[in-house]
Amino acid sequence: MSLHNRIDKRVLKEIIANDPTQRKTLSFYKYFKIDDTQAYRDRLYRDWEALGCMGRIYLANEGINAQMSVPLDNWNEWVEYLSTDSNLTNVPLKIAVEDDSKSFYKLKIKVRSKILADGLDDSTFNPWNTGRHLSAKEMNEAIAQGAIVIDMRNHYESEVGHFEGAIKPDADTFRQELKMVEEMLEGKEDEKVVMYCTGGIRCEKASAYFKHKGFKDVNQLRGGIIEYAHQVQESNLENKYIGKNFVFDERLGERISDEVIAQCHQCGEPCDNHTNCANVECHLLFIQCDACKAKYEECCSDECNDIIHLPEEAQRERRKGKQLHGDARNVFKKGRFNGRADGSISKVPSVDQMST
Ligand SMILES: [Zn+2]
Ligand SMILES: [Zn+2]
């Protein structure tokens, strides 16, 4: 039995599009010691593949970071499976706020040196000494009290949604984000700092790092925006998150509030729907309204639109020898945004998508 899925991506997407299976999308992470990551990986792949699970899961000696979907019919069995692994018993699951059952189209489990690309040397500080975890209610209180609220995500994430009054660094990666935040917060070591991200993992690292840097009152949103949205709904709290929560799967976002705070990168109309350019060679992540979607046939530019109309053979010829994206993605960079008139878009290469 193969422990990898080698079927073409487009074929798999087609299969999922027509698959009536109801799935639950979720994410979780846990820092714990894994000695034999390859054996752990192969076991998970075998057992979760058998349950029809899909997703993108990273394993390292330091733990697991998973974004995945589980068929509803196998949900109980999968949760039970977690409980048979002492490291994963009662691990907090962040369940998707909006779900179309098509968040992932295959199961991918990768062994990495770290489960989060943070660029930090963990031996230089205590990664376990994290900040105080805030509930949704405490988050609202902290915002009301005027705490410094920091969005620990990348620019293309905070562009479509963020907390009221949050600082949103224009970072391409989490590594860059940490550096920028450190510069921004210089001299504010005594103030109350609250950080948040999608599901909480980035703040685990960032909060420990900033405590190490001398910050005295470091707080983080427990379970990230996903858990916040659930608590707001369940406890009927005021929602202080505006717009969408960007997610790292096929859905590319979950709506948290009705406000649309971003614009189409091609025509400038209000829009907060991310898309990936239909030209696989480009695959740029950008915001595109329905009108532009129709006009450019889901491409980011006329150039890409021309390419998708080339015969398949010619397209393949163009891609030959080129390094396609893998785990990195091309991301539209709003700071370099110009030339809307012809709908062309400038690109920045290779942003790591290993987050949440
Ligand atoms: Zn548009
Ligand atoms: Zn393109």
Claim to verify: residue 223 and residue 132 sit in the same structural domain: yes
Is residue 117 one of the residues assigned to a domain?
Answer: no
Is residue 251 one of the residues assigned to a domain?
Answer: no
Claim to verify: residue 29 and residue 53 sit in the same structural domain: yes
In what order do the strands lie in the sheet containing 107-111?
94-95, 23-31, 63-71, 54-60, 107-111
CA of 331 to the centre of ligand 1 (A): 17
For 103-122, b/e burial (b = at least 16 CB within 10 A) is bbbbbbbeebebbbbbebee
Q: For residues 330 and 351, what is the distance between their CA atoms, to the nearest angstrom?
A: 6
User: Does the annotation mark 282 as catalytic?
Assistant: no
Claim to verify: residue 129 and residue 206 sit in the same structural domain: yes
Claim to verify: residue 268 and residue 319 sit in the same structural domain: yes
Claim to verify: residue 133 and residue 234 sit in the same structural domain: yes
136-144 and 224-235 helices cross at what angle (nearest 10)?
100
Show the tokens assigned to 27: 């994410």
pTM: 0.88
Claim to verify: residue 238 and residue 274 sit in the same structural domain: no
Long-range own/partner contacts, residues 12-16 (CB < 8 A, 24 or more apart): 12/105, 12/106, 13/105, 13/250, 15/105, 16/102, 16/104, 16/105
CA of 128 to the centre of ligand 2 (A): 42
From 60, 85, 111, the end of a domain falls on: 111
Claim to verify: residue 84 and residue 128 sit in the same structural domain: no
CA of 278 to the centre of ligand 2 (A): 7
- Note the Cα 128 to chain centre separation in Å: 23
CA of 282 to the centre of ligand 2 (A): 5
Is residue 26 one of the residues assigned to a domain?
Answer: yes
Render each residue's pLDDT in the chain as its tens digit; 356 residues: 578 887 888 889 889 999 999 999 999 999 999 999 999 999 999 999 999 999 999 999 999 999 999 999 999 999 999 999 999 999 999 999 999 999 999 999 999 999 998 899 988 999 899 999 999 999 999 999 999 999 999 999 999 999 999 999 999 999 999 999 999 999 999 999 999 999 999 999 999 999 999 999 999 999 999 999 999 999 999 999 999 999 999 999 999 999 999 999 999 999 999 999 999 889 999 999 999 999 999 999 999 999 999 998 998 888 887 766 555 567 877 544 433 344 445 444 334 445 55
Claim to verify: residue 141 and residue 214 sit in the same structural domain: yes
Instruction: Give the ligand at the shortest distance from the Cα of 298.
Output: 2
Claim to verify: residue 173 and residue 233 sit in the same structural domain: yes
Claim to verify: residue 158 and residue 74 sit in the same structural domain: no
Is residue 308 one of the residues assigned to a domain?
Answer: yes
Q: Which domain holds residue 179?
A: 122-243
Q: Catalytic pick from 53, 197, 289, 292?
A: 197
Show the tokens assigned to 90: 């009662």
Q: What is the CATH number of the domain that holds 20?
A: 3.30.70.100
Is residue 195 one of the residues assigned to a domain?
Answer: yes
Q: Report which of 302, 7, 353 is spatially closest to residue 172, judged by C-alpha positions.
A: 353
Instruction: Give the ligand at the shortest distance from the Cα of 332.
Output: 2
Is residue 178 one of the residues assigned to a domain?
Answer: yes
Total structural domains within the chain:
3
Claim to verify: residue 126 and residue 192 sit in the same structural domain: yes
Output DSSP code: residue 62. T
Claim to verify: residue 73 and residue 144 sit in the same structural domain: no
Is residue 310 one of the residues assigned to a domain?
Answer: yes
From 243, 271, 299, the end of a domain falls on: 243
Q: What is the CATH number of the domain that holds 138?
A: 3.40.250.10
Is residue 37 one of the residues assigned to a domain?
Answer: yes
From 183, 214, 243, the end of a domain falls on: 243
